[in-house]
Structure 1
Amino acid sequence: MQLSSAIYKFDRTIRPPEEMAERFSSVLGKIADSSLNVKEPEWQGCISSNLNQIRMGDLFVDEPDYSENGGTCFQPAN
């Protein structure tokens, strides 16, 4: 639930990249190393890669609807 709220606002729209990156980093920083199934350097690399994508805006969209050829294909549930 915490990771979801790091990505989405209360109205289920995606947070702006900088806000999302800050919250994403905070949530993942709370995960204990002992609960990971990967080595710490791999985990940190994964976090870093995801944070770079978030900061570049790769996960940000203004509208949550996906459409092709003028027709809506996907609308997330509210």
Structure 2
Amino acid sequence: MMQPLAAALGGASLVFSAAALLYNGKVYGFGSDKFVQESAKTGLGLGLGALGGLAGSQAGHVGAATLGAVHSGVSAVIDLFG
């Protein structure tokens, strides 16, 4: 029952991330630091989200929670340099 909701929210998140990435590219320039930072965040979110899904299917909630914590920590470090 929750999987369709999770898929819908994940899809919406992907669309909004792509929209933010394109917006930053248009406003600040596709070679700007802001665009590169947003690209890194989007790539990080996609990569760790996929790994979290895989970990969740293989190791249960512990693997997904661990990867979620790593994602949050890495995102915070990226934000410090932005």
Task: Flag whether TM exceeds 0.5 (same fold).
Answer: no
Quick check: which one's strand share is greater?
Answer: 1
Give the structure-1-normalised TM-score: 0.42
Give the structure-2-normalised TM-score: 0.41
Quick check: which one's helix share is greater?
Answer: 2
